[in-house]
Structure 1
Amino acid sequence: MGIEYNFDEKQLVSVFHQYRNDINIYTEDCDKDKSFYQQLLGRLMDNTDCQIADIFPIGDCDSVEKASKESPDERGFYLMDGDIYVIYAPRIRRSNLFVLDSYCIENYVIDEESVSKLVFELNGGKETLEAIKEKINFHHAFDVLLQPILDLFFVMSLERKYAGAFELLKYDNFISKGKIYDANKVQEAIDDKQKQLVPSVISDGTFVEDLKLLRELYPYNNSTLLQVVSGKDYLLPYLKRYINQKIGFNFQLPKESWKYNLAKYCNLERLTPLKKAILMRLHELEN
C-alpha cells in the first residue's frame, strides 16, 4: 500500500515538483485520476508559456475549496467541478480557484471525435473511423435520455436548493434486464424525490414553478445534457453500454481508461475559459 497524504501534505509535496511546473494545479479526485488530468490539461496548455508536468488531486470539492482559502499554495491554481450548483447557483470563482461551468471535468471529454476515435482504437481498426461514426451516430446517442435524465437532475437541484442536500443516485439504478436504460425507473426516482419535497419542504406550486423555470433555462438538447448531467456517474456509464450495443463488442475497461483515452482526442474549445484562467494566474504570479 502506498503512502497516503491529506490535502495539506499533498500541497507540501507539490513544492518539490515546482521545478517541473510553472504553476501547481490542484484538482478533485484521487491519485488514480492524475494521468487523466495530466493528459487533458497537458493538451490544453500545449504551445503556451505554461508548463505543467504534475497535477495534484487532493480529494473532494470541499477539500479543494478549503485548501484554496485556508492554506493556499502561493503558486497554486485550484480546479473544482461545477456539480449540481451549475443548475441553480454556480459557485464563485477567484483568481486561484476555477469552478467548471459543467457538472464535472468528465463532461468535457465526451464528443463525437473522442468517442469515435476511442472506439476505432479499441476495435483494432477493423472498421474505418467513418464507419464507426455512422454506427455510433453520436448526435442522436443520447436522445432517449434527454427529457427523463434532465428532469431528474432538475429535481435533484431543487432537492439541494430547498432541503440542503441531495442523493445523486447511480446510473445502474436505471437499467433493467435487456435494456441499457429504463425511463420508467428514472420517472420513479423523480416521483420519489418530489414526494420527499412536497409538501413537507416546499409547496406544490413552488415545485411546479421552479421546475418550469429550469426547463425554460435549459432546453432538452445535447448541449444541456453535457453541461448539467454528471459525465462521470451518468453519461460515461450510459455511453459504455450504448457503444457495446452499437458495435457488438463488450469493451471491458475501467472508467479511468475510458476517461484517459477520451481526453486524448476530445475537442478542447469548451475548456478555453479554463486555459485563459490558468494563464492569467500564471502571469499574475510572474508580476
Structure 2
Amino acid sequence: MNRDLSVGLPVRGLAARYAEAALYHNYNDIDVYIEDTAEGYRKLYAIVLARLFSADGIALDRVFPLGSRGQVLKAARKDDGCGRKSLFIVDGDLYLLGGEYEDIPESVFVLPRYCIENFLIDSSAILRVLYEDAPEMDMDELKIKCDFEGWFSSSRENLKELFVWFAVSHSLAAGIQTVSMRYQAICKNGDGDVDSLKVRLVVDEISRDLSVRFGQEAVSSALESVRQKVDESSCFITNYVSAKDFVLPLLLIRGRAVSGSKAANLNLKVRVARVCSLHGLDPIVERVRRLAAA
C-alpha cells in the first residue's frame, strides 16, 4: 500500500530539498533521496549505504528523506539535479508482490526487499549486538536461548500467509489499511512468537472483505498472481515481510527477553546496521557505479 508519510510535515518544494543537499556537496559524492521520514531512517540508510559505497571510494555522509513514495517518484520525474548525480530510492513494499501502480523513472531504485530494515535481518549481527548488552552470558548461550532459527522456522508460514494477503489487497487497490497494522496485532507472548490464530483472523477478515467487494473470481486471480511473484529460492520473511513493523520488533522482543538489554529498538537497529551483512544490495552498488562513471 502506498504510504503518505508526509502528513503533518511542512510543505517543501524541490528547490528547498536540493538546497539542503547542496549543504553536503563536500561530504557526498552523490545525492541520495529516500521516501521515509520516520525517526532514525535517515541514519540507518546513511550507515548502510556508506558501508556499501566505501569500497568504491564513493563518499556518502547524509541522505535526504522526501516523504511518501509518490513524492519520491514525482521528485525523480522533475529532477534537474543542478548538475549533481542523484539517486532516488523507494521501498519494495507490497509492490514486490502486488505490482506497481505506475511507471518507475530510470533514476529511481526500488529496493529488492520490503524496506531498508529488511537488510538488518541478520541473526549473527543481532546476536553480536545483544551480546554487548549481556555481560553475564557467553555467545553460545545467547544463541541457544534466542533460537532465532527456531523463530524463523515457526513463523515463516504464518507471516507468508499474512503478507501474501496484504499483497492481494494491494494488487486490487482495495484501500485496506494493512500498513497501519503492526507486530502487536499478531504477537503471541513476551518471546516475540507469532500467534497463528491471530494471523488467521486477520487473513480471514481480509479475504471476506475482498470477496464481497471484488468477487471471488477476481480475488482468486489476484491471489494466484501474487503467489507466482514469490521467489521461492529466497527467504520470504527477509524479502517480503516488513522488517520495520513486524520482523525486527519481534526479534528484538525475543532478544531483549534473553539478554536483558535495555536499549531502545532504534539504538539496537543502528548498531546492527553497522555490522550486518550487506548481501542482497549489490544491485544498488552497480547503479551507483554507473552514475559515478557517467
Distance in 1, Cα, partners of 2:243 & 2:275: 16
CA distance in 2, matches of 1:219, 1:274: 19
2:121 counterpart residue number: 110
- Following the alignment from structure 1 to structure 2, what is the Cα–Cα distance between the partners of residues 281 and 233? 32
How many residues get paired? 278
Q: TM-score, normalised by structure 2?
A: 0.84
CA shift for structure 1 position 85: 0.6
**1:19-58 superposed Cα distances (whole Å, 9 cap, x missing partner):** 2111111112226422222211111112213111221122
Q: Which of 134, 138, 141 matches 1:123? A: 134
Percent of pairs with identical residues: 22
TM-align CA RMSD = 2.6
Residue number among 22, 28, 38 corresponding to 1:15 in the alignment? 22
Counterpart mapping for 1:21-100 below 5 A: 21-30=28-37, 32-73=40-81, 74-89=84-99, 94-100=105-111
- Structure 1 counterpart SS, 2:126: helix
Structure 2: tracts of 5 or more residues without a match: 1-8
Structure 1 residue matching 2:154: 3-state secondary structure: coil
Measure the CA separation in 2 of the matches of 1:159 and 1:22: 40
CA contact (8 A) 2:190 2:254 kept: no
Equivalent position SS for 2:59: coil
- Could you tell me which residue of structure 1 aligns to residue 247 of structure 2? 235
Once residues 191 and 141 of structure 2 are traced to their aligned partners in structure 1, the CA distance between those partners, rounded to angstroms, is 24
Give the unaligned 5+ runs of structure 1.
none
* Deviation (angstroms), 1:212: 4.9
1:136-175 counterparts in 2 under 5 A? 136-167=146-177, 168=179, 169-175=181-187
1:244 corresponding residue in structure 2 = 256
**Are 1:272 and 2:282 an aligned pair?**
yes
Tell me if structure 2 keeps the 8 A contact 1:7–1:59. no
Specify the SS of the correspondent of 2:88: strand
8 Å Cα contact 2:133-2:259 kept in structure 1: no
TM-score normalised according to structure 1 size:
0.86
Question: In 2 relative to 1, CA 93–259 (structure 1 residues): closer, same or farther, beyond 3 Å?
Answer: farther
User: Residue 211 of structure 2: which of 198, 209, 216 is its match?
Assistant: 198
Give the SS at the match of 1:269: coil
Contact 1:142 1:222 survives alignment (8 Å): no
Higher mean alpha-carbon deviation, 171-180 vs 68-77, is at: 171-180
Query: Which residue of structure 2 lines up, in the alignment, with residue 6 of structure 1?
Result: 12
The superposition leaves residues 56-105 of structure 1 with CA deviations (integer Å, 9 ceiling, x where unpaired) of 12222222111111234242111111110111325765542110011111
Matches for 1:206-221 after TM superposition, within 5 Å: 206-208=218-220, 210-212=222-224, 214-215=226-227, 218=230
Give me the whole-angstrom Cα distance separating, in 2, the residues matched to 1:184 and 1:38.
Answer: 38
Partner residue in 2 for 1:262: 272
- Structure 2 distance, partners of 1:140, 1:221, is 19
Q: Conserved in 2, the CA contact under 8 Å of 1:44 and 1:268? A: yes
C-alpha contact (below 8 Å) 1:37/1:55 kept by paired residues = yes
Distance 1:244 1:254 in 2: 10
Q: Secondary structure at the match of 2:281?
A: helix
Deviations 1:131-185 (A, max 9, x none): 3223323322222321122111111111111134332211111235667332211
User: Does structure 2 retain, via aligned residues, the 8 Å contact 1:154–1:211?
Assistant: yes
Residues 197 and 5 of structure 1, relative CA distance in 2, 3 Å threshold: closer
Q: Choose 134-143 or 103-112, whichever is displaced more.
A: 134-143
AA in 2 matched with 1:134: I
SS at match of 2:274: helix
